[in-house]
Amino acid sequence: MIELGPWLERAVAEVQAWAETHGEYAMHPSLAVTDEGLAAAFELFGARLRDNYPFFHPRYAGQMLKPPHPVAVIGYLTAMLINPNNHALDGGPATAAMEREVVADLAAMFGLETHLGHLTTSGTIANLEALYVARQSHPDRGIAYSMDSHYTHARMCGVLGVEGHSVPVDARGRMDVDALEGLLRTGKIGTVVLTAGTTGLGAIDPIDDALPLAERYGVRVHVDAAYGGFFSLLGRDGAEGIPSPPWLAIARCDSVVVDPHKHGLQPYGCGAVLFRDPAVGRFYVHDSPYTYFTSDELHLGEISLECSRAGASAAALWLTLRLLPLTRDGLGAVLAAGRRAAVRWADLISASEWLELYQPPELDIVTLYPRTRPASLTAVDTASALMLERGMNDTVDPVFLSVLRTDASAFMARHPSVVRDAKNARIVRSVLMKPESETYLDWLHRRVEEIAREATGA
C-alpha cells in the first residue's frame, strides 16, 4: 500500500513547482500565522476529531461510511491547493476536462450510448436535477417512487411543486410492478423513479420489468443508483450472484444518479447525474453575466443547477480511476469482496442459534435481528436497539452496527410467525462496504452473536 505522508509532500512540491513558473510573490502579512499558534489550535483540533466512529476499521459495520482511498485524498488535496471551480472553464480548465472524462467513464459503466452529465455535490442534488428535468419534461404530471426509495424523492417533489406518489413494495423491498401499472393507468404520472440499491436494504427495483411499462405509458424513467450504481461493474456480468437484467436495463432509462462518495472511494462532495438524451441541456439554459468567457463550448455550469463546485472532486475521482478503473477487476474487485462477505454472513446468520436473517442481501447490506423470547416485534425492537448500544460502548472489543426501522407489515411479510404487537420494529443493519469486511467476517459474526446473546438475556 502507498504511504500517504511522502505523497502529500510530493503534492505540495508539485503545486509549488507550478506556482513558481508564475514568478515570485509574497503572501500578505494579514494572512500570517505562527507555527506555535497553529500547533496549539491543531492540538485542540486533533482532540476534537477523536470524537468519531472508526469508519476505517472492520469493527465499523454500521452505516454507509468509510474513508476515501489514499489516491483520492492525494488527488483532492493536490487540486485543492490550486482550488479550481468547475462551474465554468474560467474556473479551471484542467479539472473541467477531468470531470468530462470521469463522467464519460460513469456513462460507459452503465452502458449509456449517449449522455449529458456532470458531477454534483451529493446524491441529493443529483436526484434533484433528475427530478427537475422530469418536471420540465412533463410539467403537468407527477412522480412515482417506491415506499422504500430514499426520502429525498418525496421531499424534492415538495421543493419542485410536483405531486409525489408512493408505490408499494414486495416482500423483498422492491417496487411492486403491478401497483406501478395501476398508478400509470391513471395518467397522473410523468416519471417513475426506480432504485438500484435501496438505502435501507440494498434492494434492486425491477428496472427491467418497469421499463417496458413506462415506455407503454409514455413515462420517463429515472434510476436512483446513488448507493448501488457501482455494482453495475458486477451486475452487468451477473457476477457474485447479482442478476443482470435490472443492471442491463439502466442503459435504456432516461437518467441515472450515482454517488462516487459512497462506493467510488471518494471523499464527501461527489455525486453524479447522467441523462441519456443530451438535448435535456435545454432545460438548464441560462445566462451569466459573470462567467463563460473563456470558450464557446458548453461550460459545466451551463448544464448544472449548482454554481460553484470543487474541481478537486473531479481531480480526486480522475486520479482514482487511473488506478482502480471502472472494470470488474478494478473498482469491481473492491465491491465484490463486500458482496461475498454479505452472502457468506447471510449463510452464517441463517445457521445461527442467536440470530435471524431479515432478508437475503441483494448487494452488500445485511439485515438481521436477534432471536428473542417471546418472538414479538416489541422484543425484537428492544433487543436490536440494545445490540447497537452494547456493541459500540464495549470498551474491550466494540462493534459498530446500525439499526433500521421496519414497519410491522413489512416485517410480517418476511417473518409471519413473529407476534405483531407494535407498529414497527428496529432491526440490525450492517453495510459491508469495506473489502476488509470479508477478511474479518468470522470475527464480526462471532461478536454480533455474542452481543445478541447479551441483549436477549440468553
CA dihedral 365, 1, 444, 397 (to 10 degrees): -130
| Interface residue with ligand PLP, options 259, 306, 356, 438 (CB under 6 A) | 259
Report the distance separating Cα 445 and Cα 355, nearest Å.
10
Residue with smaller CB distance to ligand PLP, 145 or 292: 145
Separation of first and last alpha carbons in the chain: 43
- State in angstroms the smallest separation of the CB of 96 from ligand PLP: 22
CA quadruple 407, 377, 358, 344: dihedral positive or negative?
Answer: positive
Q: Is 152 an interacting residue with respect to ligand PLP (CB under 6 A)?
A: yes
Cβ–Cβ < 8 Å for 326, 233:
yes
267 vs 301, which CB is nearer to ligand PLP? 267
Sole window of 88-96, 173-181, 222-230, 241-249 interacting with ligand PLP (rule: CB under 6 A):
222-230
Q: Specify the amino acid at residue 415.
A: H
Quick one: 204 or 392, whose CB is closer to ligand PLP?
204
- Binding residue for ligand PLP, selected from 227, 230, 292, 369, defined by CB under 6 A: 227
Distance CA(362)–CA(203), nearest Å, equals 6
User: Under rule CB under 6 A, which residues in 263-282 are in contact with ligand PLP?
Assistant: 271
Provide the minimum distance between the beta carbon of 222 and ligand PLP in the complex, in angstroms, as a whole number.
11
Spatial distance between the Cα atoms of 79 and 83, rounded to a whole number of angstroms: 6
Grid coordinates standing for 117? 452529465
Q: Report in angstroms how near the CB of residue 400 gets to ligand PLP at its nearest.
A: 19
- Evaluate the CA torsion angle 210, 216, 217, 220 in order and state its sign: positive
Among residues 265, 318, 325, 258, which one has the least CA distance to residue 117? 258
Size of the site for ligand PLP (CB under 6 A): 13
- For 333, what's the count of Cα atoms within 13 Å in the CB-facing half-sphere? 5
By CB under 6 A, name the one of 148, 208, 209, 224 that touches ligand PLP. Answer: 224
Q: Which is nearer to ligand PLP, 127 or 191 (CB)?
A: 127
Binding map of ligand PLP across residues 87-126, x = CB under 6 A, - = no contact: -----------------------------------xxx--
Least spacing, CB of residue 228 vs ligand PLP, in Å: 7
How many CB atoms within 10 Å of residue 145?
28
Q: Of all residues in this chain, which one has the CB nearest to ligand PLP in the complex?
A: 123
CA distances (Å), origin 100, targets 114, 320, 445: 13, 15, 43
Q: Which is nearer to ligand PLP, 78 or 199 (CB)?
A: 199
Q: How many angstroms separate the CA atoms of 56 and 66, rounded?
A: 5
Cell of 105: 467513464
127 binds ligand PLP (CB under 6 A): yes
Quick one: which of 98, 226, 274, 404 contacts ligand PLP (CB under 6 A)? 226
- The site for ligand PLP (CB under 6 A) is made up of 122-124, 127, 150, 152, 195, 199, 224, 226-227, 259, 271
